[in-house]
Amino acid sequence: MNQITKEWLDFLREQFPQGSRIKLREMKNDPDPVEPGSMGTLEGIDDAGHFLVNWDSGRSLNLVLGTDSFSVLPPPLQTLKLYMPMTATYHDEEDGLENDITMDSREAAEYAPQIITALQEERRWMEQHAESPEEIERGMMAYFHGPDSVDQKVQSYHFTAEVRDGRLWGVAECKVRGSLTPLELSQLMDGIGGQASDGVGESFEQHEINVGGGMEIYAHLWQSEGWSIMTEQDRFDPHFSERLPDMCFSVLPGGDSLICITRNGGYQVLEDSSEKPGLNRHMADYNNRERGISKAQEQAMLDGCLHGWDSPAADPRHYTQTSGLNVAKGLPELCFSVLPGAGSLICIKRGESGYYPSDWDTGDPAQNRELADYNNQRLGVTAAQRLAMEAGSMHGWDCPAADPKTYEQTPQLMGGMTLG
């Protein structure tokens, strides 16, 4: 197989995800083949369509589709837990008036056994009233309306609860076959969040839970403020806010499109990007907030995507706000750069948000990069100063990334805001 189309390659990768088990019948055209009957694990499919296999024997010979004879077994189901804070409320009557009292996740943890039992009863009720075997087998995934790739990988999920670190957490316990991409995980979180807020979660929070002593409470899988959904690894990592997430949402500078950024990768303009920049900004903030991603992390991801992941600006710790810091020393009054995506020549002014289109724009991104370098050299603006000016114009002049010292130890980058 000399050439393989992208469509066929995408189909193979979708049908045979990483982690699938391989059983060899016969390996041809190899002087030292793997023994027939050997088992291995699929690590991926390369751009030539070769199956990359780590054999249980320790060897790593690849398989050629159409030449070698083998069968592919689906990867085993794995458990993925997604955590969200839970609260509870109860009615309290005083002076003839009934008030709703809210317990935060720490106070609600006292009633975890009763809440977990109530969630189990809710699940049994749904199974007893299911209209199809799929609803019983797949649980809440039977109502998932997201992308097919997520639907194929996630066999099922159900809601339960746990107490961790003295707090009550709602848990979406998912059975997953293979591995989810960062975007697929985000799409799954969207579906679960919808069920927690408006689906089964809305029904569950209307059922009273008897906790003894004549007291009844109502448990909530979702709250309008402070709610987020995160993986177990991220949720309970005390240093999560100091590192880059697997992905985040942002708005493309200049183009104002809603984008998804993958750590150590590039960005993707999302299908639901609006023509209204303000709405895209709102959607990015909302999605990041629901995934526990801070503004500092988003800014670091955007800078890493635009300037390179080895840049100091691709570190959330550089965006920690410092009291009393206004504009860093050593910044020029203005500098030139190139707008990502559009390639337009722009001018950035110290202390001002955004940028100014340059009258010298040629319409050619390559020529604009040369002009940006030439004008900055004439003005005595270094690459470190330009990077700091770009960061300040996008993220605020009081963040450490808007300080040229941040970039003094990195290689000199020319050509403005080039995409990494």
Asked if 42 and 155 sit in the same domain, the reply is: no
* Helix and strand counts by DSSP (H, E) for the chain: 12, 19
Instruction: Supply the CATH number for residue 26's domain.
Output: 2.30.30.30
For residue 17, tell me if it sits in a domain: yes
For residue 122, tell me if it sits in a domain: yes
Task: Give the model's confidence band at 399: pLDDT under 50 very low, under 70 low, under 90 confident, else very high.
Answer: confident
**Domain endpoint, select from 210, 234, 258:** 234
Picking from 10, 12, 17, 13, the residue whose alpha carbon sits closest to that of residue 179 is 17
**Rounded mean pLDDT, 90-116:** 89
Q: CA-CA distance, 75 to 19, in Å (whole number)?
A: 5
Express each pLDDT in 164-188 by its tens digit: 999 999 999 999 988 898 999 999 9
**Rounded mean pLDDT, 354-367:** 87
Q: CA-CA distance, 351 to 334, in Å (whole number)?
A: 9
Task: Give the model's confidence band at 418: pLDDT under 50 very low, under 70 low, under 90 confident, else very high.
Answer: very low
Asked if 29 and 157 sit in the same domain, the reply is: no
Are β-strands 167-177 and 77-85 bridged in parallel, bridged antiparallel, or unpaired? antiparallel
Task: Give the model's confidence band at 1: pLDDT under 50 very low, under 70 low, under 90 confident, else very high.
Answer: very low
For the entire predicted model, the pTM comes to: 0.70
For residue 22, report the phi and psi dihedrals to the nearest 5 degrees: -115, 130
* Position 146 pLDDT exceeds 80: yes
Range(s) of the domain holding residue 54: 6-75
Asked if 292 and 304 sit in the same domain, the reply is: yes
* C-alpha separations of 89 from 15, 109, 165, 345 in Å: 46, 12, 21, 56
**Domain endpoint, select from 234, 255, 282:** 234
* Position 91 pLDDT exceeds 80: yes
Q: Which amino acid is at 358?
A: S
Q: CA-CA distance, 293 to 286, in Å (whole number)?
A: 10
Picking from 31, 26, 60, the residue whose alpha carbon sits closest to that of residue 43 is 60
Question: To which H or E segment does residue 11 belong?
Answer: helix 6-15
For residue 418, tell me if it sits in a domain: no
Least confident of 83-92, 204-213, 232-241, 314-323: 314-323
Compute, in degrees rounded to 10, the torsion defined by CA atoms 34, 37, 40, 43.
70
For residue 40, tell me if it sits in a domain: yes
Express each pLDDT in 256-275 by its tens digit: 899 999 999 999 999 989 98
According to the model, what pLDDT value does residue 402 have? 87
**Domain endpoint, select from 217, 234, 251:** 234
Express each pLDDT in 286-303 by its tens digit: 999 999 999 889 989 999
According to the model, what pLDDT value does residue 379 have? 87
For residue 416, tell me if it sits in a domain: no
